[in-house]
A and B are shown apart, each in its own frame.
Chain A
């Protein structure tokens, strides 16, 4: 996100917040799937060992992802607060400016107030932009984490093939997880796109 780009609207940020919640719920689904499939893999005995190792990796992925998204939710909360405050300040600034323009007498009386509001506005705007950029880079990291998650899910599919009599059950669940991580990844990219549009 370039520093000159416009800030997202409150509606954008609210939508981003919903998408984050969706991505987190998908990742907890992964956690659950990985846990269940570990139990299945354990039943498969020696044939399931490889799968169990990969499933543990997937649980790690989902937990780290959830923690990072939690931190991002905090940032998003601050951003939505800041942006709504900003739009109010912008309105007040506009009204002060209008008052100054309309004054034919004593016009200098509003010089300082307009300047102070203007400076405050600029400072806040920069702060919000920094916040938005911070979220944006967190999203980039999350996106990379998803790529890794996808690779692990693919390994799970490979390991499932060695699952003996549990092969088809494990293949099924590995495919599900791969699909879900793909969905998480799409959601994360959509958030980043919305934030930087």
Chain B
């Protein structure tokens, strides 16, 4: 079963991590969803695949009235990110889904109409949730060609979708990274194979290093905090990715 964990709280402003589920069947990739709350409004990042909707929804219900979720944010178009869309829209047809313009005619195959989507231009744009102004940060080609992260400047938390993802072995289900060197070994293969462009990667590393980040929150694996954030950005900058690496392998 998934569990909701509050990872940031300041007054009515919260980040709630719906952490990965140790009981999930192995053929489905495990995911984290983050609920960014301000008072009676909330945004859910990468709401997940349709098969995990029941566990995500019920875990949210434990701590928050889902009727107050007004926005969905999809970092990109993958099924593990947004194939639950039609179920979320069954629940609340007025939900808005923020997504790269590149995918706005693809993701409706998962559900939704032209009323559902708010297209994010390549350079990113602010997303208002309650009294918060979140910033969608370009992360194109990492791994998807239309790809965004979501930055909360007040909380100093960055949601990074597939970036920072780690495929952790069973038993290692800590919410946070505890031992960076040990952890990053589980992230290396994923980043090397999934990221197509060194140029795009360095571009993102530069952008991310200019942000003040207390926690880097990926869609898969554990959350990086404190010094590990910078460690991760530096590690990624050094990591060779793309076709050249694959050919050499």
Contacts and interface: CB of A to CB of B under 8 A. Distances in A.
Interface in A105-129: 105-107, 109-110, 113, 116-117
Nearest to B89: A113
Interface in B54-79: 54-55, 57-58, 61-63, 65-67
A105 B61 contact: yes
A183 B171 CA distance: 64
Interface string B24-59: 000000000000000000000000001101110110
Interface in B70-128: 86-87, 90-91
B61 A106 contact: yes
Interface residues of A, number: 18
Contact of B57 (A91, A92, A103, A116): A103
B90 A92 contact: yes
B56 to A, nearest CB: 8
A5 interface: no
Interface in A12-38: none
Contacts of B67: 106, 109
Given A92-B86, A113-B91, A99 B57 contact: yes
Contacts of B87: 92, 95-96, 99
Nearest to A101: B54
A4 interface: no
A98 B84 CA distance: 14
Nearest to A98: B54
A109 B58 contact: no
**Chain A's interface: helix, strand, loop or mixed, by majority?**
helix
Contacts of B62: 104-105
Given A109-B91, A113-B90, A113-B91, A99 B65 contact: no
Contact of A95 (B54, B61, B63, B66): B54
Contacts of B54: 95, 98-99, 101-102
B65 A95 contact: no
Nearest to A94: B54
Given A95-B53, A99-B54, A109 B90 contact: no
A92 B61 contact: no
Contacts of B50: 91-92, 95
Contacts of A101: 54
**Most chain A CB atoms below 10 A, which of B54, B55, B86:** B54
Interface in A62-102: 91-92, 95-96, 98-99, 101-102
Contacts of B53: 95-96, 99
A119 B47 CA distance: 26
B90 A103 contact: no
A106 to B, nearest CB: 4
Nearest to B66: A109
Given A95-B51, A99-B57, 15 more contacts: A92-B50, A96-B53, A99-B58, A99-B87, A102-B1, A102-B55, A103-B57, A106-B61, A106-B65, A106-B66, A107-B61, A109-B61, A109-B65, A110-B57, A110-B91
Interface of A: 91-92, 95-96, 98-99, 101-107, 109-110, 113, 116-117
Interface of B: 1, 50-51, 53-55, 57-58, 61-63, 65-67, 86-87, 90-91
14 contacts: A91-B50, A92-B86, A92-B87, A95-B87, A96-B53, A99-B54, A102-B1, A102-B57, A103-B57, A103-B61, A104-B58, A107-B61, A109-B67, A110-B57
